[in-house]
Chain A
Amino acid sequence: MVEKATTIQEFVEAPPRVSEWRRFGRVFFQRKLVVFGLVVLSILIISAIFAPWLAPYDPYRGDLSDSLVQPSGKYLLGTDIQGRDTLSRLIYGSRTALLVGFVTTITATILGIVLGLVAGYFGGITNMVIMRAMDALMGFPMLLLALLIAAVLGSGIQNVIIALSVATLPGYARVMHGLTLSVRENDYVLAERAMGSSNMRTMVGHILPNTLPPMIVLVTLQLGSIILAEAGLSFLGIGIRPPGAAWGSMVNDGYRFLVTNPVLSFAPGLAIMLVVFAFNMVGDGLRDALDPRLRGIL
């Protein structure tokens, strides 16, 4: 019996393979709100990429004789005090929103992942220095810190990106740190080290992939709030410099005419709301589709 023990029976029928992608897609696209979010985001991305072709007028130069025109066939969403077409500015504003949103998130995520991973993996004094610095940053409310940095560096799109990156960095670092601490204790990390893997290889090749699903969800959810924060900064006048189109500054420009020309503020306000909502829905959908613990429930 023992001699034959090492040979095992061939499976007659292999179980059918369910592709991970197919399962992901089924859960992800099943919910209407997620699909709605995807549609909104697609429109946003298309309008940002094709802004020069989509916008009916020059968003920066208006016709002063057409100042504060109500929505009409000529100007679908009316014009502002300088006679600039609101729809065109809205379309160009999507570029600002997406640019700030993506660049900030990518910068903050990469930095946060590196800091959190290093702190969590090595522990000890490295962990102490990195995480206490992050805690100190976290002590400031996000928007206040961004305001402070933007006030010091001056306005302008790259300064907004820097300010928001610094302000959101500790959140990523902290989540990554926590994930690393839990993944690091797994037997496969020890097994990997026992096979002669270097620290770098263990961290990047084995710990990082295990932390990605929660990080992806966090990033998607954060995108919305960064767009919101950018709108907030622009509204307060330290975001995008004046001729540039940003939804936040458009709301600010329009609120003096809230009674006579409500569409001036409402249109960008609604755009901000829809986009943030869409990002949250997609983030939610991603979490449901990626979290194995929710498998079978949804």
Chain B
Amino acid sequence: MTELLRVNDLVTQFKTESGLVKAVDGLSYYIDEQEIIGLVGESGCGKSVSQLSVMQLINAPGEIVGGEVIFEGTNLLKYEANGPQMRSVRGAKIAMIFQEPMTSLNPVLTIGQQLTEMLVLHMKMNDEAARKRAIELMNLVGISGADRRIDDYPHHFSGGMRQRVMIAMGLSCNPKILIADEPTTALDVTTQAQLLEMMKDMVQRFRASLVIVTHNLGVVARYAQRIYIMYAGRIVESGTTKDIFGKPRHPYTIGLLKCIPRLDEEEGRKLVPIIGLPPNLINMPPTCAFLPRCSYKIEKCFKEPWPDLEPVHDNHFIRCYADTKEKASESTK
């Protein structure tokens, strides 16, 4: 498969009164065409900020200070943040849907007005064609009676239906990549499953790639082909879904998997939480950010700066000095 998007050493900072917050600190990842990847991490680890940076949607006091976002051979960060070139990428080439379906639609415009706006803008459709396409899209995402409901306002829709509309909107201009920033967090579990399944189908139908940003390992386990685990603004482990769940190597990933129950495990395993809290991203030490919470730490960890991502296996990378291999296998017992 060919590579579609590559992010290299992305750094996004926020200037606050108490100091410089490095929300994203040297993030690198890539997406192939028609691939589904998962970006997993806990709250505040920079997942959303990294995706907003790719779209250049960071507002002051935030600033993208380094790195590159290569999409179809060009560095998107070279474009002016609100210039016409960047705007023609947003929505048309890379689309994004957000966490809160309840507030992601403009309450004073009808669903139809919002769906057709982008079709007219990016696809240069006329109003009639755009309306027809909008109804088609609404049918595709499973909204019944789309020809009537297109003139409804967002408050006539439930949360799940609004997220369906958001997905329809995201895919309306046939983007190459759909970034779903915690798309199902605000919804109940049944709706979550329906939506994710629908989203997967839609992405396949439109031949787009999908980035699922989430803190829910269950979501990515089912849908993603590759997974990136993020901690304190960096990728700490990356690999195929099978590797991450079957042979996790970074202490953080191991910790994450130890604190959630699995259906396929033996009875009686205790769930072990990761002790401590995520670090404050202001004035981070050069050493590994996970060090204070790590149960595998070795002497080298305190002396050397955070290591680079090193391969442990084909396409499986970790950012760690400690040899977690034996301990990991013994701890899963």
A: residues with CB less than 8 A from B are: 2, 5-11, 14, 123-124, 186-188, 190-199, 201, 205-206, 209-210, 212
Contacts of A7 in B (CB 8 A): 142
Shortest distance from the beta carbon of A169 to any chain B beta carbon, whole Å? 25
B125 within 8 A of A: no
Check if B82 sits within 8 Å of A194, measured CB to CB. Answer: no
Contacts of A193 in B (CB 8 A): 57, 90
A201 to B82 Cα, complex, angstroms: 12
A190 to B56 Cα, complex, angstroms: 11
A242 to B139 Cα, complex, angstroms: 69
- What 14 additional pairs, Cβ within 8 angstroms, besides A187-B104, A194-B90, A195-B95? A5-B197, A6-B197, A11-B144, A14-B148, A124-B60, A187-B98, A187-B100, A194-B55, A195-B118, A196-B88, A196-B91, A196-B122, A209-B106, A209-B108
Check if A206 sits within 8 Å of B106, measured CB to CB. Answer: yes
With A124-B60, A210-B108 as known contacts, state yes or no: A196 contacts B89, CB within 8 Å.
yes
Check if A205 sits within 8 Å of B82, measured CB to CB. Answer: no
What would be 27 A-B contacts, judged by CB atoms less than 8 Å apart?
A2-B193, A2-B197, A5-B193, A5-B198, A6-B142, A6-B194, A6-B198, A6-B201, A8-B142, A8-B144, A9-B144, A10-B145, A11-B144, A14-B145, A124-B60, A187-B98, A187-B99, A188-B103, A190-B98, A191-B97, A194-B90, A195-B169, A196-B90, A201-B121, A209-B109, A210-B107, A210-B108
Check if A206 sits within 8 Å of B109, measured CB to CB. Answer: yes
* Number of B positions contacting A (CB below 8 A): 39
A44 to B82 Cα, complex, angstroms: 49
Q: Mark B69-82, 1 if CB is under 8 A from A, else 0.
A: 00000000000001
With A6-B194, A10-B144, A188-B104 as known contacts, state yes or no: A196 contacts B60, CB within 8 Å.
no
B32 within 8 A of A: no
Shortest distance from the beta carbon of A215 to any chain B beta carbon, whole Å? 13
A2, A6, A198: the one within 8 Å of B87 (CB): A198
B282 within 8 A of A: no
With A196-B90, A199-B82, A205-B117 as known contacts, state yes or no: A191 contacts B104, CB within 8 Å.
yes
B: residues with CB less than 8 A from A are: 55, 57, 60, 82, 84, 87-92, 95-100, 103-109, 117-118, 121-122, 142, 144-145, 148, 166, 169, 193-194, 197-198, 201
A115 to B150 Cα, complex, angstroms: 34
A196 to B90 Cα, complex, angstroms: 4
Shortest distance from the beta carbon of A97 to any chain B beta carbon, whole Å? 33
Check if A195 sits within 8 Å of B90, measured CB to CB. Answer: yes
A197 to B173 Cα, complex, angstroms: 13
Check if B194 sits within 8 Å of A194, measured CB to CB. Answer: no
Contacts of A191 in B (CB 8 A): 96-98, 104-105, 166
A186 to B100 Cα, complex, angstroms: 10
A11, A188, A194: the one within 8 Å of B105 (CB): A188
A240 to B57 Cα, complex, angstroms: 53
A190 to B96 Cα, complex, angstroms: 10
Shortest distance from the beta carbon of A250 to any chain B beta carbon, whole Å? 44
A6 to B160 Cα, complex, angstroms: 12
> Of all chain A residues, which has the CB nearest B106?
A188
Check if B60 sits within 8 Å of A123, measured CB to CB. Answer: yes
Contacts of B95 in A (CB 8 A): 194-195
Shortest distance from the beta carbon of B58 to any chain A beta carbon, whole Å? 11
Question: Which 10 A-B pairs rank lowest in CB-CB distance, beginning with the nearest?
Answer: A196-B91, A195-B91, A196-B90, A5-B194, A187-B103, A194-B96, A6-B198, A196-B87, A188-B106, A209-B108
Contacts of A206 in B (CB 8 A): 106, 109
Shortest distance from the beta carbon of B145 to any chain A beta carbon, whole Å? 7
Contacts of A187 in B (CB 8 A): 98-100, 103-104
Contacts of B98 in A (CB 8 A): 187, 190-191, 194
> Of all chain A residues, which has the CB nearest B160?
A8
Contacts of B99 in A (CB 8 A): 187
Shortest distance from the beta carbon of A295 to any chain B beta carbon, whole Å? 11
A2, A194, A210: the one within 8 Å of B106 (CB): A210
Shortest distance from the beta carbon of B41 to any chain A beta carbon, whole Å? 20
A11, A188, A194, A205: the one within 8 Å of B57 (CB): A194
Contacts of B104 in A (CB 8 A): 187-188, 191
> Of all chain B residues, which has the CB nearest A188?
B106
Contacts of B60 in A (CB 8 A): 123-124
Contacts of A201 in B (CB 8 A): 121
Shortest distance from the beta carbon of A24 to any chain B beta carbon, whole Å? 14
> Of all chain B residues, which has the CB nearest A205?
B117
Contacts of B144 in A (CB 8 A): 8-11
A10 to B145 Cα, complex, angstroms: 8
A11, A195, A197: the one within 8 Å of B145 (CB): A11
A7 to B201 Cα, complex, angstroms: 12
Contacts of A190 in B (CB 8 A): 57, 98
Contacts of A195 in B (CB 8 A): 90-91, 95, 117-118, 121, 169
> Of all chain A residues, which has the CB nearest B94?
A194
Shortest distance from the beta carbon of A76 to any chain B beta carbon, whole Å? 49
Contacts of A124 in B (CB 8 A): 60
Shortest distance from the beta carbon of B192 to any chain A beta carbon, whole Å? 10
A212 to B107 Cα, complex, angstroms: 13
Contacts of B108 in A (CB 8 A): 209-210, 212
